Structure 1
């Protein structure tokens, strides 16, 4: 007995309307035709995408940041990351962001994965890189950017995830990837 072909779950654009045009985010409200022929509203945010860097020092420690995040009005412990500028390729963005935010450059860059953190309401993608062979050049933060850079061992960072001290999704995902990669499992 053969398997039936997979269902076609495609939703087709009927009309689109931009309802908010911000500096970073753009919000759309579309009418989409569902596989059953009905038309429903789909609201979503477009985002330029971002890179996430897992910076690994020669001593095995990670370079992390503490940064205040306004929407939640609290400080978060995070991996360095930043949005991709128009026309910028992701590897160049990763190099730029690592230097700007932490003051480090890296000799070795390894693409790890691309993740989609908000598939229910955004097209944002996060592109992850492992950066090794770090050397400190000096911080070069963007205007209006304030953060504290520090180092932490991977086991301690994972314990911070377990205890709820690190809750930022991009960082949690990156730390889990780092664990697998550094163990040679991936």
Structure 2
């Protein structure tokens, strides 16, 4: 499989699909298949396969239909070595999926504290918000990852910032949760 992907990446650029077909088959289907291999490698933590993509100059921040990047998937699935390799290769730790969630938010949600700590060492804004107005600190409070609240605060996160419902990391950590009124 790695040899197939290496050969495919070596013979053609995904941005060159507008020209003559470099290999037989449907270029859009091949691009999709290649992306699937890339995202599956991130989910499984297959660093060797990720290296194949990295060495070929593959766009590390490519997103799937939900906006997930390989880094978001690796963090969410607890693949620490894959997270480290993607970050070292230049993957954007601040990238957001279509709901605005980041790799850090996914790691916190899944309880991947070591990965979350590594992501906190990047240059992302600690108060970056998702589409619902929530921050990583709010996730840490909600999911009782209190060991991360101090790290987030040292990084500059505002533990008293509120989402549109009035939730803050501090309130969530104490068990106070505001929800929308039923319709």
TM-score normalised by L of structure 1: 0.25
More helix per residue: 2
TM-score normalised by L of structure 2: 0.25
Answer with 1 or 2: which has the greater Rg: 1
More strand per residue: 1
